[in-house]
Amino acid sequence: SAANWPEDLEIGAYDEVNRAKAKAKAKAKAKAKAKAKAKADQRLRILPDPSTSLSTTPSAMVRNAHADLVEEAARFRARLAEVDPVTNEPRYGPNMKAKVEDWIARYEQLGDALDTHAAAADARRAEAAVLDAEASAAAAAAAEAQCAEAEAAHRARLAQTEEELARSRFGAQKFRDEDTPEPGADDAETRAALSAEAAAAKEERLAAEAAAAAEAEKRRTEREAARRAWQANAGSGVDAFKSHLADFAAAARADGGIAAPLRALHVVISNASRRPEAEAYKVLRCRNANFHRDLGQHDAARCCLAAVGYRLMVRREDPVEGVEEEPDEAELEAFQMAEPNPEADLDKWAAWYDALSGALSALEELMAAEGVKPAPEAA
């Protein structure tokens, strides 16, 4: 009515203000949602495509990208399960949900591809170690033959030198006595003196060689005693293996990574267990670079090998006299599997094989707990 029109006007103005506020609020909410969607799309685009990245991108870059996105993947998984507290609807719409699920699938696929590549690389390194061990065995045999030839040649030269020296001394004495009219007792005495001098020189040389050989044998015996003491202290059997395995895992983890060392130990023990008759898997050269990197540098890993039947030994004796370059004995050390003869003592062989199988099971349990996949078996 005309009497109430100021009041009606005031109510209409109030409604108009509320509608403007609601419109502004909806616009701001839509803008924030669009901004969040753009930011999420940008994050989704930074993950490389696993079907092409491993062949077109350096592997280190792919691994770093995968590692950097761990927290991002966790956030996306959490957001997928969230709902809006007001509308009780999922936080992501159907399109965004599909994009996020696709991103997570590609992220997990990339992780599996990286694990496969790492396992294949470990297998190649293990195969290279076996090939290197075979080549080392052939080289050691050739070196032993070469040392034997060098020793024979050296002894021949010594005998020739002694003979020439005796002739030279006798000739010099004879030249000094040429003005003697007739050879007499002095000639005989001179020859006797020269013969006695040559015999004394030979005896002195033989005594020196015997002393050097005795000292070398003493050093060899002491080193062998030290190796035997270490072997006895390492123990044997599944319980000893488990104890050393725990120490090895802790040392490898502190050294920067547990996966490659555990895979290397698994390759050695599984090969010995599956193919005990194969000679190529019975000798592990300590000087092999791959063996030293993954196992040899850790005393606990060496103790693991001792516990399953490997014996620390020297594959060749000390270098013989006459060889100019004498290698350090530590470079000649190797672990050799001491497999019992089943024909001579079947019970002893069965106990050895059971201990080897039990150690392999304990190692595989630890690898499963650590999330380490075994290396693929060599063809």
DSSP secondary structure string for all residues of 266-293? HHHHHHHHH-TT-GGGSEEETT-HHHII
What local confidence, expressed as pLDDT, does residue 203 receive? 86
What local confidence, expressed as pLDDT, does residue 56 receive? 45
SS3 call for 343: coil
CB 322 within 8 A of CB 154: yes
Overall average pLDDT of the 336-365 stretch: 87
Share of the chain above pLDDT 70, in %: 73
Query: What is the H or E stretch that residue 335 is in?
Result: strand 333-337
Q: Quote the DSSP letter at residue 141.
A: H
Question: Higher pLDDT residue, 197 or 45?
Answer: 197
What local confidence, expressed as pLDDT, does residue 37 receive? 67
Question: Higher pLDDT residue, 19 or 108?
Answer: 108
What local confidence, expressed as pLDDT, does residue 93 receive? 81
Question: Higher pLDDT residue, 109 or 183?
Answer: 109
Lowest average pLDDT, out of 154-158, 300-304, 322-326, goes to 322-326
Share of the chain above pLDDT 90, in %: 1
| Residue 111 pLDDT greater than 60, yes or no | yes
Nearest 10 degrees: CA dihedral of 200, 203, 208, 211?
-140
> pLDDT tier at 62 (50, 70, 90 boundaries)?
low
Lowest average pLDDT, out of 18-32, 198-212, 224-238, goes to 18-32
- Side chain identity at residue 221, one-letter code: T
Lowest average pLDDT, out of 57-66, 88-97, 361-370, goes to 57-66
What local confidence, expressed as pLDDT, does residue 303 receive? 92
Residue 117 burial (CB count, 10 A): 14
Question: Higher pLDDT residue, 121 or 246?
Answer: 246
> pLDDT tier at 138 (50, 70, 90 boundaries)?
low
What local confidence, expressed as pLDDT, does residue 77 receive? 83
| Residue 340 pLDDT greater than 50, yes or no | yes
What local confidence, expressed as pLDDT, does residue 276 receive? 75
How confident is the model over 221-245, as pLDDT tens digits?
Answer: 888 888 888 888 888 888 989 998 8
Most confident range (mean pLDDT) of 13-17, 23-27, 127-131, 165-169 is: 23-27
- CA angle 9/14/15 to nearest 5° reads 100
